[in-house]
Amino acid sequence: METRILQPNPENIRLCAQRIKSGGVVAFPTETVYGLGASAFEPRAVREIFRIKGRPNDNPLIVHVSSLEQIREVADLVSPLALKLISAFMPGALTLVMKRKSCVPDCVTAGLDTVGVRMPSNEACRKFLAECGVPVAAPSANTSTRPSPTCAEHVYDDLRGKIPYVLDGGECEIGLESTILDVSGVAPKLLRAGGISIEELERVCGLKIQTASSTGKALCPGMKYKHYSPKAEVYFSAYYGNMFGGINAHYDLLVSSGKNPVILCLDKNASLYGARKVYRMGADYGDYARMLFASLRRADSQNYDSVIAEGVPSEGIGAAIINRLVKSSGGKII
- Contact residues for Mg ion (CB under 5 A)? 140
Stretch that binds ligand TXA, among 18-26, 82-90, 175-183, 250-258 (CB under 6 A): 175-183
Tell me the residue number closest to Mg ion, measured at CB.
140
Q: Which is nearer to Mg ion, 208 or 224 (CB)?
A: 224
Closest to 299 measured CA to CA, from 256, 204, 235, 253 = 235
* DSSP structure class, residue 95: E
Which of 68, 223, 270, 326 is in the footprint of ligand TXA by CB under 6 A?
223
Stretch that binds ligand TXA, among 2-10, 59-67, 203-211, 263-271 (CB under 6 A): 59-67
**Residue 71 beta carbon to Mg ion: minimum distance, rounded to whole angstroms:** 21
Extract long-range pairs of 168-171: CB within 8 Å, 24+ residues apart: 168/5, 168/6, 168/7, 168/8, 168/29, 169/8, 169/28, 169/29, 169/30, 169/34, 169/122, 169/123, 169/124, 169/125, 170/29, 171/290, 171/294
**Residue 293 beta carbon to ligand TXA: minimum distance, rounded to whole angstroms:** 11
Q: 211 exposed, middle or buried (CB, 10 Å; 0-12, 13-18, 19+)?
A: middle
Query: In angstroms, how far is the first alpha carbon of the chain from the final one?
Result: 44
Closest to 106 measured CA to CA, from 48, 20, 46 = 46
Residues 76-105 that bind ligand TXA (CB under 6 A): 95, 97
Which of 178, 237, 295, 328 is in the footprint of ligand TXA by CB under 6 A?
178
Which of 19, 118, 324, 327 is in the footprint of ligand TXA by CB under 6 A?
118
List residues binding ligand TXA (CB under 6 A): 30, 32-33, 35, 59-62, 95, 97, 109, 112, 114-116, 118, 138-140, 177-178, 180, 191, 220-223
